[in-house]
């Protein structure tokens, strides 16, 4: 029953940062070894999802880097800076959280994602 609830909770989350937050909340209350193993698997799948997010953010950056979208009544330069900082925040926040689990970052797929992050 708890496993189904866990899986449904993660399916409802569509953001890497929110998924990491949900994962940390579950880890704080669950002491069952079977559930902890499931949470570790979820952590890996969140990292793979983060890799897809990196590719999406890279595509958005490449598409709009010459003419970044800005809020109305925002000067072009400050709007471009705010847009770039928003993209950077979307990239950096999850990676900071992933650095707390070095064993996750040693896998082959993780090295590819880390290379994408470093570009």
Q: How many residues are listed for the chain in this entry? A: 119
100 three-state secondary structure: coil
Q: pLDDT tens, 58-103?
A: 999 999 999 999 888 899 999 999 999 999 999 999 998 888 888 8
User: How far is 14 from 4, CA to CA, in rounded Å?
Assistant: 18
Q: What's the mean per-residue pLDDT of the chain? A: 88
Confidence at 36, pLDDT banded by 50, 70, 90: confident
Torsion angle (degrees, nearest 10) of CA 51, 97, 30, 107: 50
User: How far is 2 from 17, CA to CA, in rounded Å?
Assistant: 22
**pLDDT at residue 118, rounded to an integer:** 87
**pLDDT at residue 40, rounded to an integer:** 86
**pLDDT at residue 72, rounded to an integer:** 86
* Of residues 106 and 82, more confidently modeled: 82
73: left (phi over 0), alpha (psi -120 to 50) or beta: left
* Of residues 31 and 111, more confidently modeled: 111
Q: What is the mean pLDDT of residues 48-67?
A: 93
User: How far is 62 from 101, CA to CA, in rounded Å?
Assistant: 30
**pLDDT at residue 55, rounded to an integer:** 94
**pLDDT at residue 5, rounded to an integer:** 87
User: How far is 62 from 65, CA to CA, in rounded Å?
Assistant: 6
| Nearest by Cα to 110 from 56, 37, 47 | 47
């Amino acid at each position: 029953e708890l496993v189904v609830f866990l899986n449904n909770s993660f399916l409802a989350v569509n953001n890497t940062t929110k998924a990491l937050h949900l994962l940390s909340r579950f880890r704080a209350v669950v002491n069952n070894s079977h559930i902890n193993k499931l949470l570790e698997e979820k952590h890996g799948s969140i990292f793979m999802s983060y890799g897809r997010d990196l590719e999406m953010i890279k595509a958005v950056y490449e598409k709009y880097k010459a003419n970044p979208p800005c809020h109305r009544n925002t000067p072009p330069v400050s709007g471009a800076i705010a847009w770039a900082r928003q993209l950077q925040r979307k990239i950096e926040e999850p990676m900071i959280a992933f650095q707390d689990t070095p064993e996750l970052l040693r896998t082959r797929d993780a090295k590819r994602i880390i290379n994408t992050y470093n570009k």
